[in-house]
């Protein structure tokens, strides 16, 4: 049985600037929205290490580096190039043609949020 796709609007596509991460918080879930190489990506918005806000990180090429302790993630895959087995969650997203809003698959976000094995306060 296919997973139902339930979208939640995050930000207007027209407001995204290439390679500038945007923090979006919905229902206490912090997400990162990034337009990179013309594609919009939505990831978890906090570092898996200590919960720092990834939107405040530095992007160099495809690599987003956490501002707090330097953990890094490839924005194309979510995987860390430096720490084997580490990565951030990536979520299906699309642009709503009628509204121009970037939407995220909220079913995926909720499944990820429910299954997280760690908890911390977002810094």
pLDDT tens, residue by residue, 41-88: 999 999 887 778 999 999 999 999 998 888 999 999 999 999 899 999
In a domain, 96, yes or no: yes
Cα separation, 102 vs 42, in Å, equals 9
Asked whether residue 21 carries a pLDDT value surpassing 90, the answer given is yes
Query: Does any domain span residue 122?
Result: no
Q: Is 27 within a domain?
A: yes
Residue percentage of the chain with pLDDT more than 90: 74
Helices (H), the chain: 106-115
Judge whether residue 6 has pLDDT over 90. Answer: no
Instruction: Count CB atoms within 10 A of the CB of residue 45.
Output: 23
| Domain CATH number, residue 93 | 2.102.10.10
Q: Which domain holds residue 17?
A: 7-115
Look at the chain and report how many structural domains it folds into: 1
């Amino acid at each position: 049985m296919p997973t139902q796709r339930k979208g939640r609007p995050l930000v207007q596509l027209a407001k995204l600037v290439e390679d500038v991460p945007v923090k979006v918080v919905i229902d206490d879930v912090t997400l990162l929205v990034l337009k990179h190489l013309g594609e919009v990506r939505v990831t978890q918005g906090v570092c898996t290490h200590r919960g720092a806000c990834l939107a405040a990180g530095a992007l160099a090429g495809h690599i987003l580096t956490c501002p707090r302790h330097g953990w890094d993630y490839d924005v194309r895959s979510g995987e860390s190039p430096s720490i084997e087995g580490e990565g951030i969650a990536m979520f299906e997203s699309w642009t709503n043609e009628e509204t121009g809003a970037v939407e995220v698959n909220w079913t995926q976000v909720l499944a990820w949020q429910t299954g997280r094995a760690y908890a911390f306060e977002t810094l």
